Amino acid sequence: MNYEAVIALEVHVELATRSKIFCGCPTTFGAEPNTQVCPICLGHPGVLPVLNRRAVELAVRAALALNCEVHPESVFARKNYFYPDLPKGYQITQYDRPLATGGHLDLEVGGEVRRVRIRRVHLEEDTGKSFHGGDAHGSSPEHSLVDYNRAGVPLIEIVSEPDCRSPAEAGAYVEELRSVLEYAGVSDVRMEEGSLRCEPNVSLRPVGSERLGVPVELKNLNSIRAVERALVYEIERQSALLAAGGEVRRETRRWDEGSGTTRLMRVKETADDYRYFPEPDLLPLGLDAAWIESIRRSLPELRAARRERLVRDYGLPPYDAAVLTASRSLADYFEETVRLTGDPKTVSNWLMGDVMRLLNETGVGASVLRGRDSTFPPASLAELVALVQEGTISGKMAKEVLEEAFRTGRSPRDLVREKGLSQISDTAELEAVVDRVIEASPAAVDEFRAGKEKALGFLVGQVMKETEGKANPKLVNELLRKKL
Ligand SMILES: [Zn+2]
């Protein structure tokens, strides 16, 4: 029998607020364990939560960017369960009356546009983080440790409808979601730091059937690649199980990056009973329609619109526009540099080639290019483009200069001056070298005169070699043709 995969995704995203959702503790990532806590986020008896207005604003921005309807009234609920990373014994979340519902996200997969519907977006608080079996901070096989710095950090949970049909579609969904949230400025969306966490559930059903199979939930996915690999593995595991006459159980499985497999975490016999009830310490969340509208108006241009605009306004090929809009930082960098140089395609080529290679090699995101501490701000790339355009340096020299400017933060013009890199564009000086090369290469000269264009390339190469790459290649070409 042929099966098809049905995938839905739950994504948790930490909102980029400075303080937690119900108390004033800071949310900075990477602080010493248990240094960003207070009686409220530690769940001491008798404390009361106070909702962070900025968290609500960012959640509304996210919901609007995902084309959802934001409800004028939503309700916080207690989700009761016991786990050491949850000091109150319950999590404050939203249940039957979430912040927003009914959105969608359009993805491009294999040249086709697919729409994935979004069921809901709701606000909740994050839990603490447990360390088991010696994985960090001095935990050991006998002792688990808990860091409560993350307890109470504001989250949104984004739940999709089961609309993805392949691991590639699920990967494209997470990629697009990440981009939309980055553009909307609601989160720094770093999967490796856990500020975006993705839990897909996948089931199989016979092709043509409308019934959903038994879903298996996957956890511990720290990159988009891990999401896709884990789904590929899980679909194969379930297919083999069904083909052998077995049954898929409703369970949660943990992805293990090292072995490339999923392992059973827990079996669910029935849906968990969390005894949800309305949070008595918080009023229903009432949102003013005018406030929601003002947030909608403040939303920046998102990726798809920007991609179209880069093609329309700058005449970029669609491929370039797609690469440059992968992050808002990179697209902003492109536009700022073009404002300084007026040469979109050249700027695009540098960004897609050497600059992205250096970003990948140094493992930093495009966001560092535009900060106050940037070693290679738009002005530096603009300077480099100008140096090539005015003929001071060749394209090859420019690559070296770019690399050094990028790594040291120095200005390309200073580097060129200091290294004496400028190209030789002095006709008299080059003429002498050209004469020497013609005399030393009679065979190539004869071939060229016999009509072999290729031989000219050899002669240009010899001149470049003699001048250690400093000759202006255009001028060398002209001189050689004139003399031959
Ligand atoms: Zn606190």
User: Does position 335 have pLDDT exceeding 90, yes or no?
Assistant: yes
pLDDT of residue 369: 72
pLDDT digit string, tens, across residues 182-228: 999 999 888 888 899 999 999 999 998 888 889 999 999 999 999 99
- 147 CA to middle of ligand 1, Å? 13
Query: How much is the average pLDDT of 172-188?
Result: 92
- 33 CA to middle of ligand 1, Å? 13
Q: How far apart are CA 408 and CA 27, in angstroms?
A: 32
Query: How much is the average pLDDT of 229-250?
Result: 94
User: Does position 247 have pLDDT exceeding 80, yes or no?
Assistant: yes
Query: How much is the average pLDDT of 408-413?
Result: 90
- 25 CA to middle of ligand 1, Å? 4
- 58 CA to middle of ligand 1, Å? 20
Query: How much is the average pLDDT of 37-44?
Result: 96
The amino acid that residue 216 corresponds to is: V
Token look-up 């109470």 returns 152
C-beta atoms surrounding 87 within 10 Å? 18
| DSSP 8-state assignment for residue 261 | E
Q: Name residues with Cβ closer than 5 Å to ligand 1, which is an ion.
A: 23, 25, 38, 40-41
Query: How much is the average pLDDT of 115-123?
Result: 98
Query: How much is the average pLDDT of 393-422?
Result: 87
Query: How much is the average pLDDT of 225-248?
Result: 95
The amino acid that residue 77 corresponds to is: A
pLDDT of residue 136: 66
pLDDT of residue 365: 63
Lowest mean pLDDT among 70-74, 114-118, 189-193, 293-297: 189-193
pLDDT of residue 168: 94
- 282 CA to middle of ligand 1, Å? 17
pLDDT of residue 366: 64
Query: How much is the average pLDDT of 164-188?
Result: 93
- 84 CA to middle of ligand 1, Å? 17
Query: How much is the average pLDDT of 445-471?
Result: 87
Considering only CA atoms, which of 438, 431, 400 is closest in space to residue 418?
A: 400
- 40 CA to middle of ligand 1, Å? 5
User: Does position 39 have pLDDT exceeding 80, yes or no?
Assistant: yes
pLDDT of residue 361: 82
pLDDT digit string, tens, across residues 377-400: 999 999 999 998 887 888 888 999
Average pLDDT for the chain = 91
- 157 CA to middle of ligand 1, Å? 21
pLDDT digit string, tens, across residues 18-28: 999 999 999 99
pLDDT of residue 367: 62
pLDDT of residue 371: 63
- 292 CA to middle of ligand 1, Å? 28
User: Does position 412 have pLDDT exceeding 70, yes or no?
Assistant: yes
- 31 CA to middle of ligand 1, Å? 14
User: Does position 426 have pLDDT exceeding 90, yes or no?
Assistant: no
Q: How far apart are CA 247 and CA 267, in angstroms?
A: 13
Query: pLDDT-derived band of residue 271, with 50, 70 and 90 as boundaries?
Result: low
Considering only CA atoms, which of 431, 413, 439 is closest in space to residue 467?
A: 431
- 42 CA to middle of ligand 1, Å? 7
The amino acid that residue 358 corresponds to is: L
Query: 365 or 225: which carries more pLDDT confidence?
Result: 225
Query: pLDDT-derived band of residue 310, with 50, 70 and 90 as boundaries?
Result: very high
- 19 CA to middle of ligand 1, Å? 9
Domain residue extents for the chain: 3-292, 301-419, 427-483
- 38 CA to middle of ligand 1, Å? 4
- CATH 1.10.10.410: does it fit domain 427-483? yes
Cα angle for residues 143, 147, 150 (degrees, 5° grid):
150
Query: pLDDT-derived band of residue 464, with 50, 70 and 90 as boundaries?
Result: confident
User: Does position 139 have pLDDT exceeding 80, yes or no?
Assistant: no
User: Does position 270 have pLDDT exceeding 90, yes or no?
Assistant: no
- 47 CA to middle of ligand 1, Å? 11
- 56 CA to middle of ligand 1, Å? 18
pLDDT of residue 134: 65
User: Does position 53 have pLDDT exceeding 70, yes or no?
Assistant: yes
Q: How far is CA 346 from CA 241, 353, 360, in A?
A: 54, 11, 20
- 55 CA to middle of ligand 1, Å? 15
- 126 CA to middle of ligand 1, Å? 12
- 52 CA to middle of ligand 1, Å? 12
- 426 CA to middle of ligand 1, Å? 69
- 279 CA to middle of ligand 1, Å? 18
Q: How far apart are CA 184 and CA 82, in angstroms?
A: 35
